[in-house]
Chain A
């Protein structure tokens, strides 16, 4: 923007300066070392640049700056005046002249020629380091930073001779008051007696509590002209002070921080203090002045205000809700999911596009809402992780091992209920890793490993599941020991072929323990089977992998939430049941012929592998005869593949889990109930106890036969 009212003055002045420049340059051609002339040439360029910049002729200003920069170098003796320099500068003068006319007419000059000239001028300069400086660089804009108000305690002690620099402290203080709400306290303790007082000196200093939306730099700007000579402390009144104590920062600490009180004096007065008010005691002891105390009290009050404000903000940004309320919300969304399923089922049978569209929309909203509500119950698992650090430290000491716990994914979120119930199994796994997994420091040294073993505990998301890993860099699981133990326990017959994975997963079988002597750590009554059960009850799975000499990894896979699961809906004798889909591997048909081929034993061949199955009809004492072709749902339970024979497999079902309640608390093999789309209730199977019971019965039968 050109300031038109100055244009004519500027034109006249510039023309005058340009002819001065021309004369000067011609003189330099004769006397290249005439300092006065060099000064005149420089000043002419400098003034053109300044004036042009001032009234918005940026093109002239920028270009002249380049020329001026070269002449600044000449003036300081860094560059000799040569014929070439004079020629280039004369050319530059002509360009400025042209720019002047063009710019005054509102046009731009030929930038190409200008650029070429600038390049040529730069070519004369030996080093080109600082040529990027822009002649029309903006002076610092005074911009407010953000909307948030912060408070500062400012201690401003001007130099005693401030009046001799023509500066009134009052002006600075007034400027501060424009930045925000301000409380100014004058400190008079440095005023000497009348006989020593020099009326031309400033003895006062000030404390200012400023609450402003500007930042510290803006405050500093106010003092920019005296900053180098004055004492200026700008302390944000903030969290740090809040952290010092619950009640708005202790008064004594604030005074010490301000430099108004020594720590020693504070301690002395604190000890001698018999009054309730520290402030009064300090003033009375003469270690602080009343005004200094006022400031500290003001800061303290401000801290308190801020704390209240922060708490108010925190309260409004997050609210505490009783978990019962969330539970009832989860119940309600469960009902909604159920009703929505009914709606979809009902509308699906009808040829009404409008109704179907509504049903689909309701379905979408319902699932969205479900996700949000379940998400409310999610907590980061890290709260559980922290307690394990101590555990690892104590245990490794007790066992004479060196171990460090490394955790990852502490921010991974899981349903609160799951987290609560995960603690014990994790403790057990970590104990196991230190006790059985990690070798002694000597053994590790011999194996070429660092003496300190590492336990890795990590959590991560994987689809609708959370994966937890407990990994050690120990010796790995001894497979032979497991095989021997499994045989002696009858978990494995000598002719049974087992894969590596199946073998080591036997450690989850009930009553399994590979270490002969009972150690005080892992041998305390619970084995891996208990861990397995705990994970099962969370509808999760646990597997183990191990590499000899390298270590062992336990992997726990958990559903994100307990309230709703993916289920497989099946039917037996007209009753419907739900199996947790996470455990289901596949479904296989079972014909009467298959049963006959297996000699009526409950065994089925699944791709070459013999899998035992149990009949839900039998286990639940249900009436009726099975259909010609039954279905066997192959699932993973108790660390093995087990089939569940049912009449029909209906399909997948989003299952909202309802407790069966107190009256059925002793019923085994059921983990709850769910309401189906048609409004009836289906029972949810708890597979591990079903398998356990079946095995127990089998044993009783086998025992009675022999």
Chain B
């Protein structure tokens, strides 16, 4: 199977290449009010309005200013039986690589910074570990419900 790899805060992540649609440069993102911080907003992708997630924030990493290599990986995500097109902002996109099942180990229970539910397994390449993401789970409905929670918070500036 082939994976697209990208970097977030120094760690390397991978997603099934079949889930990805395209990689686009960072562009103007319109913030949607009353949504959690990790939901960056929406972009214009050739006429379609596509939501973009800041994966750093989603995974509880520190927010940094976007750099030259910051990219948006546009993916098909299955949420509640429905396929959504979602963009994920990453620090940089690395490569597409093939991994046998033998090269993938189950996710460790501890030792990673993120919710193990999001992790499909750990890949190993050149002594470097890859965190293979279950991207559908990252965007699961439970996670999205946060939007509602956020919306119900008083939104006053004072």
Direct contact of A and B (CB under 8 A): yes
* A673 lies within 8 A of B30 (CB): yes
Q: With an 8 A cutoff between CB atoms, is B103 at the interface? A: no
Known interface pairs A660-B32, A667-B35; A681-B151 also in contact (CB < 8 Å): no
**Chain B proximity mask over A661-687: 1 for CB below 8 Å, otherwise 0:** 111101111100101000111110000
From B28, B30, B148, contact of A683 by CB (8 A): B30
Interface window among B6-14, B42-50, B56-64: B42-50
Q: Which residues of A contact B156 (CB under 8 A)?
A: 618, 621, 697
* B47 lies within 8 A of A661 (CB): no
* B39 lies within 8 A of A663 (CB): yes
Q: Which residues of B contact A660 (CB under 8 A)?
A: 32, 42, 49, 51
Q: Quote the shortest CB–CB distance from B84 to chain A (angstroms).
A: 5
* A662 lies within 8 A of B82 (CB): yes
**Chain A proximity mask over B136-149: 1 for CB below 8 Å, otherwise 0:** 00010000100110
Alpha-carbon gap, A470 to B101, bound state (A):
67
Q: Which residues of A contact B157 (CB under 8 A)?
A: 617-618, 621-622
Q: With an 8 A cutoff between CB atoms, is B154 at the interface? A: yes
* B79 lies within 8 A of A664 (CB): no
* B47 lies within 8 A of A338 (CB): yes
Size of A's binding interface in residues, CB under 8 A: 34
* A664 lies within 8 A of B147 (CB): yes
Q: With an 8 A cutoff between CB atoms, is B98 at the interface? A: no
From B44, B46, B144, B151, contact of A663 by CB (8 A): B144
Q: With an 8 A cutoff between CB atoms, is A658 at the interface? A: yes
* A620 lies within 8 A of B47 (CB): no
- The DSSP consensus for interface residues of chain A is mixed
From A666, A667, A680, contact of B30 by CB (8 A): A680
Q: Which residues of B contact A263 (CB under 8 A)?
A: none
* B44 lies within 8 A of A680 (CB): yes
* B32 lies within 8 A of A683 (CB): yes
Q: With an 8 A cutoff between CB atoms, is B155 at the interface? A: yes
Alpha-carbon gap, A578 to B82, bound state (A):
29
- Nearest residue (CB) in B for A674 is B49
Size of B's binding interface in residues, CB under 8 A: 34
Q: With an 8 A cutoff between CB atoms, is B34 at the interface? A: yes
Q: With an 8 A cutoff between CB atoms, is A334 at the interface? A: yes
Q: With an 8 A cutoff between CB atoms, is A335 at the interface? A: yes
Alpha-carbon gap, A683 to B34, bound state (A):
13
* A667 lies within 8 A of B154 (CB): no
Known interface pairs A617-B157, A681-B42; A663-B33 also in contact (CB < 8 Å): no
Q: Which residues of A contact B46 (CB under 8 A)?
A: 335
* B43 lies within 8 A of A681 (CB): yes
Q: With an 8 A cutoff between CB atoms, is A331 at the interface? A: yes
* A666 lies within 8 A of B28 (CB): no
* A666 lies within 8 A of B49 (CB): no
Alpha-carbon gap, A660 to B32, bound state (A):
9
Q: Which residues of B contact A334 (CB under 8 A)?
A: 47
- Nearest residue (CB) in B for A339 is B47
Q: Which residues of A contact B80 (CB under 8 A)?
A: 662
Alpha-carbon gap, A624 to B88, bound state (A):
27
Q: Quote the shortest CB–CB distance from A660 to chain B (angstroms).
A: 7
* A661 lies within 8 A of B51 (CB): yes
* B35 lies within 8 A of A659 (CB): no
Q: With an 8 A cutoff between CB atoms, is B86 at the interface? A: yes
Q: With an 8 A cutoff between CB atoms, is B31 at the interface? A: yes
From B28, B32, B50, B82, contact of A670 by CB (8 A): B32
Alpha-carbon gap, A681 to B31, bound state (A):
9
Alpha-carbon gap, A660 to B35, bound state (A):
12
Q: With an 8 A cutoff between CB atoms, is A398 at the interface? A: no
Q: Quote the shortest CB–CB distance from A600 to chain B (angstroms).
A: 12
Q: Quote the shortest CB–CB distance from A631 to chain B (angstroms).
A: 19
Alpha-carbon gap, A15 to B139, bound state (A):
111
Alpha-carbon gap, A622 to B31, bound state (A):
10
Q: With an 8 A cutoff between CB atoms, is A575 at the interface? A: yes
* A668 lies within 8 A of B84 (CB): no
* B51 lies within 8 A of A667 (CB): no
* A667 lies within 8 A of B86 (CB): no
Alpha-carbon gap, A442 to B43, bound state (A):
64
Alpha-carbon gap, A328 to B37, bound state (A):
32
Which 8 residue pairs are nearest across A and B when measured between Cβ atoms?
A: A335-B47, A620-B33, A666-B148, A681-B30, A658-B49, A673-B49, A680-B28, A663-B51
Residues of B within 8 A of A (CB): 27-28, 30-35, 39, 41-44, 46-51, 79-80, 82, 84, 86, 139, 144, 147-148, 151, 154-158
11 more CB-based (< 8 A) A-B contacts, given A660-B32, A662-B84, A679-B44: A335-B47, A618-B156, A621-B33, A621-B156, A622-B33, A660-B51, A662-B79, A664-B51, A667-B32, A679-B28, A681-B44
